[in-house]
Amino acid sequence: MKYLTLFLQLVFLISCKSSDKKVDFKGVWIDKQVLESKGTIENDPTQFPLVLIEDDLADSLLIYFDSNNKYRVPTEFAYESYFVHVDKNTEYFLIPDIDKEELVFSNLKDKVFRRFVRVDSPLSRNDILDSNFRLEHFMQTLN
């Protein structure tokens, strides 16, 4: 309950300072740190460098951890944010930062925050699930 209250306060603060713009979640999102470091990934089980959101109000997301770990995870959409269930014990949040046009990944339990930016790419679910897909190669195709 404590974490839900903190989350709702965060959503309230973001919504108060933002305009009436709506967030378009659809697309390929990459962890900002990974993008800036040209694909280097920390060895952290909660770190995932890429998220594919195929539709607005999607009930699941495709999360790429590494070449061997790619999962469709169930989500719930509420308060203009996604509640993501990567594992059974922890609920994660993808909260929009409308002014910066980024998604903020939050695990309030462990106080983890990461920022994702959308990249202009026609990357599809089948591309990511392909056994030959590598984040490093994909990063080289980005401008």
pLDDT tens per residue across span 69-121: 888 888 888 888 888 877 777 778 888 888 888 888 887 676 778 899 999 88
Tell me the Cα Rg of the chain: 15
pLDDT tens per residue across span 36-46: 876 556 555 55
Domain ranges in the chain? 20-141
**Average pLDDT over the chain, rounded to an integer:** 79
Phi/psi of residue 127, each to 5°? -60, -45
What pLDDT score does 18 carry?
47
What pLDDT score does 24 carry?
79
The pTM is what? 0.76
Cβ count near 61 (within 10 Å):
21
Residue with the bigger pLDDT between 122 and 87: it is: 122
